[in-house]
Structure 1
Amino acid sequence: MADPEVATKAPESDATEKVVNPSASIIPEDTPAQSGASLGEHCVTDRPTPSGQGSSGEISQLGGVDVYISKPADYPHTPSKLLLFLTGATGLHSTNNQIQADKYAKEGFLVILPDMFSNDPLPGSATYSEEKDASVIEQIKMRAAETAKSFLIDMWLARQTPEKVLPIIHKVLEAAKDEFADAIANGGGIYCAGYCFGGRMTLLLAGEKPDTVAWGQQTTDEEAGVVKAGPFIKAGAIAHATLVTREDFEGTKAPIAFICVENDQLFADEIREHGEKHLMESNVECEFKTYSGVPHGFGIVGEYEDVKIKVAQAKAFDQMLAWLKSH
């Protein structure tokens, strides 16, 4: 069993991250992704789906946004709690993401997985069309295919800002308040589980922030004279977050748990340490657990040859589930 806090070297076959270097431009005047940040292979590519497993929910719409909804078998006869499930870059149509959502549904949560990348899917994913990036592809068609894909992913990532993504999430939440008012009332609010890219969005939803992107209901900080909004979730659980900044921790109010990966290039130790210190000093209930010998992205359903990673994956789910249920 993978023991949190105990350092061992991750298996190179599964743990080595391939991180795109956005500064290595291959087209003049391109735009680096979010000031040099990028994604590793486990953020943009699904692991093989475990044999015999498949999703059991359905694709629907809430607030005009495509969503995957997974319900407990006995809902609505038995009260449920609403869980917002925010994915990594592979998004709505990833079978692994859908199966992960189903796991929470089997534990009594009514799960909503929104298409955060509405009309702008990850290059190479199920609903992506090369026509969208035809001009870019034409410019780099003489380059190596892998370099081209990395560049397109980097440019895609630059477009996925909180200002773009959070309003999409809020459309879903506003619609859910009507559609699933019973589940929200039963849980006393909305819970959230975020993985990879969705981890940062979860952290932002857990905070009270300056209302710069129409985040919903506003409150006024009379001392500073600043209009703020949030938090929008009752509690959150995050696995192997990516792109998190020091500023993202500011204003956090909701209890939050972090499942971390040792030596994670996508969630640096200095950011994690700053976040933990800031939350504790702000008297925000939090939990940080670090797993060794596992790759970034290990928390999402996917097949691994290394039994230790499989055990860690199950343990991480149990820890996130326990956190959400206890709040």
Structure 2
Amino acid sequence: MTSSLPGSCCYQGVKHEGVAKGELSKVGDFEVYTVHPAERVEKGILILTDIIGHKFINVQLIADQLAANGYFVMIPDLFDGDPVPLNLPGSFDIPAWHTGKYHPAGTAHLPPNVGPIVDASIAEMRTKYGCKAIGAIGHCFGAKYVARYLRPDIGKIDAGFIAHPSYVTEEELRAIKGPLAIAAAEIDAIFPAEERHASEAILKENGFPYQVTLFSGVAHGFAVRGDLSNRAVKYAKETTFIQCLQWFGEYL
């Protein structure tokens, strides 16, 4: 694998302060958070979240900032109402959660169930919202689906940006067909140095534009759930956002 399965670090972090500007609605039978820029545009960004999900204020504030910079943004509920709460006390069985143990209907959070949500979100962005180009941001869990759907050749995602990825396989990374950037943490058992270097080698072989940025002094989750009172984390989070804008400005 190029990044390992999610662990306890994937639901720990700091809740940020702010008031979301977007709205919640439905696409088919799942909920989405959407936010519009001041003027109508033909470029959109799909945010595929970590396991905290689409209602987490931190990711909604990121979406709002992207909209303020001229993009239509959508964040789908990838988990059918079954996200993992922030900072759960004690131990939590992530593999069991993946296979649907905690979901009321036993719905697993695996590609057969998550994939159709991503497909429907892309279709909604292209049809209802008129997005002719779509970039995707994947945080942790969501990185896997950025890799799986980075296929501009078949009308899926045109450019991707992932931060502290988890659960991405070598086969998925080899199969991408478009530009991909990665923001990585120095302290990350899910995406350690050896897997980061393996990913770099694959991206080089693929031949598409890529960028890998490593931030020192920060841990897994910094781009969404980091403690902003920590100067290194604040710098890494803000720089990652600026790099997102630069990346999509170049490749969308």
Aligned-pair CA distance for 1:113: 0.3
**TM-score, normalised by the number of residues in structure 1:** 0.68
Determine if the alignment matches structure 1 residue 154 to structure 2 residue 121. no
1:155 aligned counterpart, secondary structure: helix
| Distance in 1 separating the partners of 2:225 and 2:5 | 25
The AA in structure 2 aligned to 1:39 is: G
Aligned-pair CA distance for 1:262: 1.4
Q: 1:230–1:265: structure 2 CA closer, same or farther, 3 Å change rule?
A: farther
Aligned-pair CA distance for 1:301: 5.8
**Counterpart in 2 of 1:60?**
25
**Residue 202 (structure 2) aligned to one of 254, 275, 278:** 278
Determine if the alignment matches structure 1 residue 173 to structure 2 residue 141. no
The AA in structure 1 aligned to 2:127 is: D
Q: How does 1:21-40 map to 2 (within 5 A)?
A: 37-40=5-8
**Residue 139 (structure 2) aligned to one of 191, 195, 205:** 195
Determine if the alignment matches structure 1 residue 44 to structure 2 residue 8. no
| 1:52-97 deviation per Cα after TM superposition (whole angstroms, max 9, x unaligned) | x22110001223321000111x232xx3411111110000111111
| Distance in 1 separating the partners of 2:85 and 2:248 | 33
| 1:250-277 deviation per Cα after TM superposition (whole angstroms, max 9, x unaligned) | 2211100000111421113232222211
| 1:176-201 deviation per Cα after TM superposition (whole angstroms, max 9, x unaligned) | 222112xx23xxx2111111111111
CA RMSD after TM alignment: 2.1
| Distance in 1 separating the partners of 2:22 and 2:50 | 19
Determine if the alignment matches structure 1 residue 308 to structure 2 residue 252. no
| Distance in 2 separating the partners of 1:61 and 1:281 | 40
The AA in structure 2 aligned to 1:107 is: N
Aligned-pair CA distance for 1:304: 2.9
| Distance in 1 separating the partners of 2:125 and 2:6 | 32
Q: 1:282–1:48: structure 2 CA closer, same or farther, 3 Å change rule?
A: closer
> How many residue pairs get matched?
238
| Distance in 2 separating the partners of 1:91 and 1:196 | 11
Q: 1:243–1:231: structure 2 CA closer, same or farther, 3 Å change rule?
A: farther
Q: 1:307–1:267: structure 2 CA closer, same or farther, 3 Å change rule?
A: same
**Counterpart in 2 of 1:103?**
65
2:191 aligned counterpart, secondary structure: coil
The farther-off stretch of 89-98 and 292-301 is: 292-301
Contact 2:226-2:237 at 8 Å conserved across structures: no
| Distance in 2 separating the partners of 1:258 and 1:199 | 9
**Residue 89 (structure 1) aligned to one of 51, 70, 75:** 51
**Residue 75 (structure 1) aligned to one of 16, 39, 64:** 39
The AA in structure 1 aligned to 2:56 is: S
Identity of aligned residues (%): 28
| Distance in 2 separating the partners of 1:107 and 1:274 | 33
**Counterpart in 2 of 1:122?**
83
**Counterpart in 2 of 1:204?**
148
| Distance in 2 separating the partners of 1:103 and 1:64 | 27
Aligned-pair CA distance for 1:172: 1.8
| Distance in 2 separating the partners of 1:262 and 1:178 | 40
| 1:287-319 deviation per Cα after TM superposition (whole angstroms, max 9, x unaligned) | 111111011111116543211211121111111
1:92 aligned counterpart, secondary structure: coil
2:211 aligned counterpart, secondary structure: strand
Determine if the alignment matches structure 1 residue 296 to structure 2 residue 220. yes
| 1:102-141 deviation per Cα after TM superposition (whole angstroms, max 9, x unaligned) | 111111110000001114x13446xxxxxxxxxxxxxxxx
| Distance in 2 separating the partners of 1:274 and 1:302 | 26
| Distance in 2 separating the partners of 1:236 and 1:259 | 11
Unmatched tracts of structure 2, length 5 or more: 100-107
1:293 aligned counterpart, secondary structure: strand
2:228 aligned counterpart, secondary structure: coil
| Distance in 2 separating the partners of 1:236 and 1:57 | 22
The AA in structure 2 aligned to 1:115 is: D
**TM-score, normalised by the number of residues in structure 2:** 0.87
The AA in structure 2 aligned to 1:165 is: V
Larger Rg: 1
The AA in structure 1 aligned to 2:39 is: Y
